[in-house]
Amino acid sequence: MFKQLIILAFAITLSSCANNTTKTKEKDEDLSSALTSLFGEPKKVDEKKLDKFPLGSEKNPIRVNGPKGQRDYLSRLVCDNNEPVSAFERMGSAGASPFGTIMDIYEVICDTNKGVVKHEVFLDMYHAQYVETRPAAGFIALKPDCWIPLKKAIAFREQKNFNAALEQIELHNQCDESRERMSYYYHLGWTYAEMGEFTKAIDAYSEGLKTQPNYPFAYWRRGLAYEKLGKVLEAQADYKKAYDVGMEKDPEKFKELLNENPDIAEKIMPKNK
């Protein structure tokens, strides 16, 4: 399970569905934890009273998990011209929220055919267990979070419910508009491999690598599939490629991951290292 979470983190980091690096994510989580420790957990509020005020207003702020949650939510808003927001910027702290924690206020810009429209959106980042699915007032929709079905697919795969996993992977693919398709093909290949469909797994990894050839773990997993089919030379070539690609971008981080995952290191580490 630990290994799978690490690989998912790398998939999210390297795909265009998530533009932030692992380091940024860790900093966000640390900051969110530190702020919660300082100000305490948010207090419970009557939801009916909140709903009397516009969502995203000072009296009814958007609830999210940490600074990254703020950015993720705002980046998914759709303006009234059916276009995503063109920009947003934190304007500062806005004092205490109805939940007794500190709010932030953001300026969110819609670039419409009628000109630039600016919105003020209030957000409270102390709500790790709450997921807002509604758009803030002034916006018409909230784009779907493409990672939700992928997380469900991983859970189904761990339960050996492969048909359900494949369905969720396809749902992820349908809403993912990124140029890199690795998250789709990588988990498709992984699921096929768990099903014993190694040729299909190889085909999936190969398609993903066409869009993102710098993703080392696709080479590693394709190598595992080749090995299951008895194609030793192809497997060894992929293991070598996985190591070479992994060392190109962030050698220290990649070495750290290999130290934490000896089963990966055993396959891809050069024998003379």
186-198 per-position pLDDT tens digit: 999 999 999 999 9
Q: What's at 215, amino acid-wise?
A: Y
pLDDT at residue 269 is higher than 80: yes
Long-range Cβ contacts of 249-255 (<8 Å, 24+ apart): 249/214, 253/22, 254/216
Express each pLDDT in 242-265 by its tens digit.
999 999 978 999 999 999 999 999
pLDDT tens for 140-174 read: 999 888 888 999 999 999 999 999 999 999 999 99
pLDDT given at position 37 = 57
* Tokens of residue 98, six digits: 């109805």
Average pLDDT value for residue range 95-102: 93
Report residue 23's pLDDT band, with 50, 70 and 90 as the boundaries.
very low
Q: Interior CA angle at 122 toward 118 and 126, to 5°?
A: 150
pLDDT at 39: 52
Q: Are strands 87-96 and 141-142 parallel, antiparallel or unpaired?
A: unpaired
* pTM for the structure as a whole: 0.65
Residues 186, 191, 194, 197, CA torsion sign: negative
All domains in the chain, ordered by first residue:
2-16+146-268 (1.25.40.10), 22-142 (no CATH)
Least-confidence region, from 11-25, 64-78, 210-224, 226-240? 11-25
Structural element, H or E, at residue 82: none
Element of type H or E holding 151 = helix 147-158
Average pLDDT in the chain: 86
* 111-141 pLDDT per residue, tens: 987 789 999 999 999 998 888 999 999 999 9
Cα separation, 57 vs 44, whole angstroms: 18
